[in-house]
Amino acid sequence: MFRRERSIPLRGSAAALCNNLSVLQLPVRNLTHFGVVHGPSAQLLSAAPEGVPLAQRQLQAKEGAGVSPPLITQVHWCVLPFRVLLVLTSHRGIQMYESDGSVMVYWHALDAGDASLVQAVFARGIAASGHFICVGMWSGRVLVFDIPAKGPNIVLSEELAGHQTPITDIATEPAQGQDCVADMVTADDSGLLCVWQSGPEFKLLTRIPGFGVPCPSVQLWQGTVAAGYGNGQVRLYEASTGTLHVQIDAHARAICALDLAPELLSAAEDTFVHIWQLSRSPEGGYIEVEHCHGECVPDTQVCGARFCDPSGSSFAVTGYDLAEILRFSSM
């Protein structure tokens, strides 16, 4: 059972995007950082354990050419071996900052070269994999940036081709060992998932086809891919083979966010957040899913949701048009 905790007020309401909440847990400093996209700006704020807001900062999307100011598509903290960077993607490019958002260390402008007049050009989907940061593009390409231990000498090392439609989300986890080398999964608007092995050169391991709906959110845990789809379904696949293991008719509207803590959290536009327990069955070794908890956030089109601590005993939610971060913790 979860109870509602004190909300954290936001300067601007959350935009109707998917994966619109990033959380950076800093247990050593007893702080949690939150990142939410408002539109042309994103808000970062840090809070103490009871949700007391301590500091906040707003970041703007860079380069204002065109009729309206460029919109941000996602904000996400990337935890690398020696540093943490904050990455912001927009319709103009990719901005990388030191983790508190104080200094921009890198700017990559999007090249709209191949885009036809009718295609929207943007970057979306951000994840850290070892000392790389991977960012998805409207074209389906995934840019791989090599990040040094410190300083701004960030280099675009590779461009991955695997998708033909805009990337929606990217998920990574440290490789599990000999049996499973898959450590990154990318998802796109057609619902296609690509499973990769990271390295000086990334290798495409498997493709998991879509079925006509976008896959806005994806997670990777112990060799299992968890994917949330536009028709409200959550599916779990074996990362190395692409075999479907679990199919959940989880939500009544499009899923907008997933998180793994070791529990799985799914949030959708139907106002619900569900928490699922994942385990491996002793006999077959395959994944088992059990529903733990459902939370209705009344009249709120949820657009982001994340666990706030490693054990999954608390989570935070953002909603379209809502100028606060809602918090829940287990009793």
Partner 1 sequence: MSVRTLPLLFLNLGGEMLYILDQRLRAQNIPGDKARKVLNDIISTMFNRKFMEELFKPQELYSKKALRTVYDRLAHASIMRLNQASMDKLYDLMTMAFKYQVLLCPRPKDVLLVTFNHLDAIKGFIQDSPTILHQVDETFQQLTEIYGGLSAGEFQLIRQTLLIFFQDLHIRVSIFLKDKVQNSNGRFVLPVSGPLPWGTKVPGLVRTFNNKGEEVRKVEFKHGGSYVAAPKEGSFELYGDRVLKLGTNMYSVNRPMETHMSGASENLAAQTQESIAPNPLAKEELNLLARLIGGMEIKKPSGPEPGFRLNLFTTDEEEEQAALTRPEELFYEVINIQATQDQQTNEELARIMGEFEILDQPRRSASKGDDLLAMMDEL
Residues that bind partner 1 (CB under 8 A): 11-13, 15-17, 38-39, 64, 66-68, 71, 91, 117-120, 122, 165-166, 168, 188-190, 212-214, 216, 230-233, 243-254, 270-272, 274, 284, 286-291, 294, 296, 298-301, 320-321, 323
Residue 257 beta carbon to partner 1: minimum distance, rounded to whole angstroms: 14
Tell me the β-bridge partners of 307.
Answer: 315
CB nearer to partner 1: give 131 or 245: 245
Buried b (16+ CB within 10 A) or exposed e, 203-240: eebbebebeebbbbbbbbbebbbbbbbbbbbbbbbbbb
Q: Do 265 and 308 meet the contact criterion of CB atoms below 8 Å apart?
A: no
CB of 130 to partner 1, least distance (A): 29
Of 71 and 85, the one with the shorter C-beta distance to partner 1 is: 71
Minimum distance from CB of 300 to partner 1 (Å)?
A: 7
Q: Which CB, 90 or 129, lies closer to partner 1? A: 90
Name the minimum Å distance from CB 270 to partner 1.
7
CB of 140 or CB of 312, closer to partner 1: 140
| Smallest gap from residue 77 Cβ to partner 1 (A) | 22
Q: Which is nearer to partner 1, 168 or 314 (CB)?
A: 168
Instruction: List b or e across 108-129, with b for residues whose CB sees 16 or more CB atoms inside 10 angstroms.
Output: bebeeeeeeeeeebbbbbbbbb
Residues 6+ apart with CB under 8 A from 271: 296, 297, 298, 299, 300, 301, 302
Output 38 or 76, the one with its CB closest to partner 1. 38
Instruction: Provide, for the chain, the percentages of residues in helix, strand and coil under a 3-state DSSP scheme, each rounded to the nearest 5.
Output: 0, 55, 45
Distance of CA 20 to the CA centre of its chain: 8
CB of 8 to partner 1, least distance (A): 15
Closest contact distance (angstroms) between CB of 79 and partner 1 is 27
Closest C-alpha to 96, from 84, 114, 110, 82: 84
Smallest distance, partner 1 to C-beta of residue 29, A = 29
Could you tell me if 86 and 44 are in contact, meaning their C-beta atoms sit under 8 angstroms apart? yes
The answer to whether the beta carbons of residues 94 and 63 sit under 8 Å apart is no
Q: How far apart are CA 267 and CA 278, in angstroms?
A: 16
Which CB sits closer to partner 1, 16 or 80?
Answer: 16
Nearest to partner 1 of 80, 213 (CB atom): 213
Residue 211 DSSP code: -
